Amino acid sequence: MTIAFTICSINYLAQARTLGDSLAATNPDIKYFVGLVDRLEGVSFDDSYRPDFPLVEIHAIGIEGFEEMCERYNITELNTAVKPFYFTYFFNKYPEADKVIYFDPDIIVYQPLTHLLQSLDTHEAVLTPHVCTPIEDRQTPNELHHLNTGIYNLGFVAFRKTDQTRQYIKWWEEKLRYECLIALCDGLFVDQNWMNFLPLFVENTYIERDPGYNAAYWNLHERQFSVGPDGTHLVNTDHPLVFFHYSGYDPAKPAVLSKYQDRFELSQRPDLTPLFDIYRNSLIRNGNEYYRKFPCCYIKPPKVLRYQRVRKWLKKPVEYLIDKIDTI
């Protein structure tokens, strides 16, 4: 049995539903879950926006010290910090599941994951690098940015259940319990830099370099897209597009490829038009504007979160922090 899951708060359920729709269409044998970093208690969805996929609320999976994690992290950090804990939950809850795959919610899967599952038959983990070839300019992101934010993109990672991967995930849990921060000067970018250790600690890790895997704004310099005679989306002429990662895309700003990059405009890449039309229409159909109105119950007001962090890191007297908090 194979499980695929994503993690989000209610405000990102349109993306999670779009991912789930794509998995149901291409990989119906894979069981899909949404790890919800939010609470459904007191929430009522309109019937047309009630998710069709199981929602596993974060408070129900038994993370020790979760309340303290909420105090340490903003919502982006918290959503990434719980990732290894969900792997542990699914391996424990479903003993028959020997493979578990994580996808960020802003992904569409376009093909059966046949090759990925075959890779997991002979390897214990699968990762995708941000880039496979050099970047010839100084625009964002380039190799220096990837040195800061991780060689591998953690919008996707897959594990086969073995003693070694369970040990690695346990180690990863303890790192993310305290050190899943966006703090580049401290060598931290949420969960990603910790994954640089996976090929070292789990020797039988497969690095998937096929350009059809995890195509996204950070590797568009090395990937061109087309549609084959049978309607299949292709990368670099002859590689089927397995999944595209639409990180940083906002359907309310349809001309902007991603808010995280300045290398390409969508108008400069007509090969991407069909893919972004599919994604924009899917998000609108799945209620992007509707779900955006739901605040996450775990979000701390920015001033409160800044206060907690400064107090922890600087260990200054409370009176000093109260005086200085508005300048942070």
Domains contained in the chain, CATH given: 2-289 (3.90.550.10), 298-328 (no CATH)
* Cβ-based burial of 216 (10 A; exposed 0-12, middle 13-18, buried ≥19): buried
Rg (CA), the chain: 20
Is 26 buried (19+), middle (13-18) or exposed (0-12) by CB count in 10 A? Answer: middle
pLDDT value of residue 323: 45
300-308 average pLDDT score:
54
Segment holding 127, helix H or strand E: strand 125-127
Over residues 86-119, the pLDDT tens digits come to: 999 999 999 999 999 999 999 999 999 999 999 9
The pLDDT score that the predictor gives to residue 320 is 38
In angstroms, the CA 117 to CA 235 distance is 20
Range 42-47 average pLDDT: 92
Please enumerate in sequence order all residues whose Cβ is within 8 A of that of 176, keeping only pairs 6 or more positions apart, or say none. 80, 81, 82, 83, 84, 191, 194
Q: Which of the four pLDDT bands, split at 50, 70 and 90, describes residue 314? A: very low
Name the token pair of 195.
Answer: 């994954």
Average pLDDT over residues 8-28: 97
If you average pLDDT over residues 243-265, what whole number do you get?
A: 95
Q: What is the pLDDT of residue 301?
A: 65
pLDDT of residue 186: 87
Tell which wins on pLDDT, 233 or 307. Answer: 233
**Mean pLDDT of the 230-259 span:** 96
What is the pTM (predicted TM-score) of this model? Answer: 0.90
Cβ distance 256 to 268 under 8 Å? no
pLDDT in tens, 262-285: 999 999 999 999 999 999 999 999
Work out the percent of the chain whose per-residue pLDDT is above 70: 91
pLDDT band with cut points at 50, 70 and 90 for residue 185: confident
